[in-house]
Amino acid sequence: MSKYPIVTRLNAERIADLLRAVPVEDRRRLQVPDRELVQERRGGTFDSQAFDNECAALEVAWKDMAGKHPDWTVEFLEIQIAGPLFGAVNKLPIDLREDEDFWRYLALFPFRWYLLAREPELQPQDYGGLHGRATSGGGGTEDGSESVSNTAMQYQLIYRTYLIGKAMRDESQADAFARRDSISPGGPVTDVWQSHIVRVRIGRIGQVAHALVDRVASRSPTEEQLSFARKLAKALTRLKNNISLDIKDKRETDQIVAQQ
């Protein structure tokens, strides 16, 4: 059976420590001792060279967008790159995509450029690490640690961006990721896509994410969008416990969201 690379939570902290120990300009190319901190797990095939090439192409696209649009924030750039990132990762076997340790590998190795660009502070939740400090432990385990807790995966940058791309995708449109532009660069992109879609799982329920974004996009100015998005997301979060929204088509979902 094939193998694929993984990084445990504890080893993710060790890698992050190595990155923090060098100047910011050197972190992108820092050579990490793979044999010590990257392990392998049996499962689906992972072509590291092919995937590295896709990640490199995404890095070029990110830098190109940032250069052409200096007014775009990193929060807005995240939404712009979500579709292509989703497309690259979604090609991988399902057992890789279901493995949290693999997502940590993606953040700290092929997508390190993105991690450093979007979350340069390298907080534990950004790469799927640990809150607190591990005092001991070896072999990639977390045994012997004190005052340590796991970070939530929905905050992990690569996984979060992947989920945004997944929620955004609409195969009924010529451009499946056209909703990346629904909220303007100065609008509440983080509130809408992260807080109200990914973190509360609205993005995984049928057509709800599309209907929510469309309704928010119809509002202006930015302050009104923000308040409206929060109220609507709160109502939909309550509603999803009583109505099977995942079986509704777009027309039915739009009607339900309009009523809210």
Q: What is the rounded CA–CA span in Å between residue 106 and residue 46?
A: 12
Query: Token pair of 178, please?
Result: 């056209």
pLDDT at 139: 42
Tens of pLDDT along 15-39?
A: 999 999 999 999 999 999 888 899 9
CA atoms of 260 and 235, how far apart (whole Å): 7
Residue 151 CA to residue 147 CA, distance in Å, equals 13
Query: Any idea where the domains of the chain sit in the sequence?
Result: 1-170, 182-260
Are the C-beta atoms of residues 209 and 167 closer than 8 Å to each other?
yes
| Model pTM score | 0.90
Q: 39, 168 in Cβ contact below 8 A?
A: no
The count of other CB atoms within 10 Å of the CB of residue 88 is 21
**What gap in Å lies between CA 236 and CA 246, rounded to an integer?**
12
Q: What is the pLDDT of residues 134-174, one digit of tens each?
A: 544 444 445 554 578 999 999 999 999 999 999 999 999 99
User: DSSP secondary-structure letter at 195?
Assistant: I
What does the pLDDT average to over 209-216?
Answer: 91
CB contact at 8 A, 130 and 145: yes
Distance CA 95, CA 116 (A): 27
Of 19-28, 95-104, 124-133, 134-143, the range with the lowest mean pLDDT is 134-143
* Closest-CA residue to 99 (of 42, 155, 54): 42
For residue 40, the cross-strand partners are: 5
Count the helix, strand and coil residues of the chain and give each as a percent rounded to the nearest 5.
60, 5, 35
